[in-house]
């Protein structure tokens, strides 16, 4: 009974083999199917919890469990340490996801969570944009041109006829490097740096994916978007962190990925519960009621939902199994001698002291 370990390098091999476009298409299809069949009685997703701290560094370590009753249990653990990049040349976010066999409790898989998170966050915006954005959306606006912007653009380019991409970032270096980072996944669209005002005013679909500080939002204000603009608000995932101005939320149909969480951590923090629209799964399950959304202002409040992680993990595990990628390690005690916690010590005491010691590495 072994645990499948999928490292970042293993996931790289899967991505190279399957292709990024195919993987993103599969992620979008898998999330769509999961949202369409979501039912609160068959999936249990406790509110995510975590440790928030300022010593030894500013940090957040949170766990996101998800149980598809009777079939799958996963827990994603996400560390958010904003000083990582500057002080250690490490990603701000480090993450792993674990899957458990619900027959036995066995840890069946442990996987790097970074690629999975990027993939599912992009895919979720594509799912939302496909039902809320104008079908002929040609201009994508990106407020914030960091890592998330790349997967946002990639996902949107898979579902909308994007021709132009307007990018704004407060950091000129990030702005400069964006076209090269996104070139391969922009669906052939033209990528142009733009002013914040231009991005918000001109785009059909706008993704906000910034690292604005708590209490420092919103990230734009005073600019009138197109009447049919659809926003994917990706960056807000923390109490006090918001990107979209309140007046815009008040005029928009606001659709959270998961209502309870969005009211606590997302743009919906700014709203009263009755001002928040149905969650994305409800819009997908009752599409016929929501056709008019394409013609009005809409905001997808994407806080990151544990079900998205579970579904995307399943997708990557299936590829790993099919391709024979990853390593298998017997981690847990699975002795049939369940009554003897010391079974592995042949002759416990005092003979153990005389028994030859196992070879041990010297370092």
Check whether the bond before 148 is cis (ω within 30° of 0). no
Nearest residue to 244 (alpha-carbon basis) of 210, 209, 218, 271:
218
Total number of residues binding a copy of itself (CB under 8 A)? 107
55 touches a copy of itself by CB under 8 A:
yes
Least Å distance between CB 134 and a copy of itself?
Answer: 25
Hey, which residues between 308 and 327 contact a copy of itself (CB under 8 A)?
323-325, 327
238 touches a copy of itself (CB under 8 A) = no
Which of the ranges 50-58, 235-243, 244-252, 308-316 carries the binding residues for a copy of itself, by CB under 8 A? Answer: 50-58
Considering the rule CB under 8 A, would residue 211 count as an interface residue with a copy of itself? no
Per CB under 8 A, the list member of 92, 211, 223, 285 interacting with a copy of itself is 92
C-alpha distances (whole Å) from 80 to each of 97, 125, 238, 340 are 15, 21, 11, 41
Contact 265, 60 (CB under 8 A): no
Q: Is 246 in the site for a copy of itself (CB under 8 A)?
A: no
Q: How far apart are CA 51 and CA 29, in angstroms?
A: 33
**Which listed residue (65, 141, 217, 266) binds a copy of itself by CB under 8 A?**
65
Residues 104-163 that bind a copy of itself (CB under 8 A): 104-107, 110-115, 118, 146-148, 150-151, 154
The nearest distance, CB 259 to a copy of itself, in angstroms, is 20
Q: Are strands 93-100 and 72-80 parallel, antiparallel or unpaired?
A: antiparallel
If one asks whether residue 29 binds a copy of itself (CB under 8 A), the answer comes out as no
Distance CA 221, CA 210 (A): 15
- By CB under 8 A, tell whether 276 contacts a copy of itself: no
Q: Choose which of 25, 59, 138, 296 interacts with a copy of itself (CB under 8 A).
A: 59
The contacts of residue 359 (CB under 8 Å, 6+ apart) are none
333: number of CA atoms within 13 Å, CB side?
A: 10
Query: Which residue, 264 or 294, is less far from a copy of itself as judged by CB?
Result: 264
């Amino acid at each position: 009974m072994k645990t499948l370990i999928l490292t970042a390098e293993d996931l790289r091999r899967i991505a190279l083999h399957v292709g990024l476009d195919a993987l993103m298409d599969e992620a979008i299809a898998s999330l769509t199917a999961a949202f369409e069949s979501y039912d609160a009685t068959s999936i249990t997703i406790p509110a995510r919890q975590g440790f928030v701290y300022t010593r030894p560094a500013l940090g957040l370590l949170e766990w996101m469990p998800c149980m598809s009753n009777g079939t799958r249990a996963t827990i994603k653990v996400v560390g958010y340490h904003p000083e990582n990049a500057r002080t250690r040349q490490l990603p701000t976010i480090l993450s792993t996801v674990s899957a458990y066999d619900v027959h036995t409790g066995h840890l069946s898989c442990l996987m790097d969570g970074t690629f999975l998170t990027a993939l599912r966050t992009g895919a979720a915006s594509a799912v939302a944009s496909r039902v809320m954005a104008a079908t002929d959306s040609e201009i994508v606006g990106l407020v914030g041109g960091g890592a998330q912007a790349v997967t946002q653009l990639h996902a949107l380019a898979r579902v909308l006829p994007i021709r132009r991409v307007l990018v704004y970032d407060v950091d000129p270096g990030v702005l400069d490097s964006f076209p090269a980072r996104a070139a391969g996944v922009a669906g052939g669209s033209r990528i142009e740096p733009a002013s914040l005002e231009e991005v918000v005013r001109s785009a059909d679909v706008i993704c906000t994916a910034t690292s604005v500080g708590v209490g420092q939002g919103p990230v734009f204000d005073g600019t009138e978007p197109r009447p049919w603009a659809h926003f994917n608000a990706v960056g807000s995932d923390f109490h006090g962190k918001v990107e979209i101005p309140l007046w815009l939320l008040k005029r928009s149909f606001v659709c959270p990925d998961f209502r309870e969480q969005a009211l606590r951590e997302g743009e919906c923090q700014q709203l009263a519960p009755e001002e928040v629209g149905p969650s994305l799964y409800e819009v997908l399950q009752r599409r016929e009621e929501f056709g008019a959304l394409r013609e009005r202002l809409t905001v997808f409040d994407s806080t990151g939902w544990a079900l998205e992680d579970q579904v995307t993990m399943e997708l990557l595990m299936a590829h790993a199994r099919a391709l024979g990628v990853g390593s298998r390690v017997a981690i847990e005690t699975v002795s049939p001698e369940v009554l003897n916690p010391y079974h592995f010590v042949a002759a416990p005491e005092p003979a153990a002291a005389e028994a030859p010691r196992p070879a041990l590495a010297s370092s």
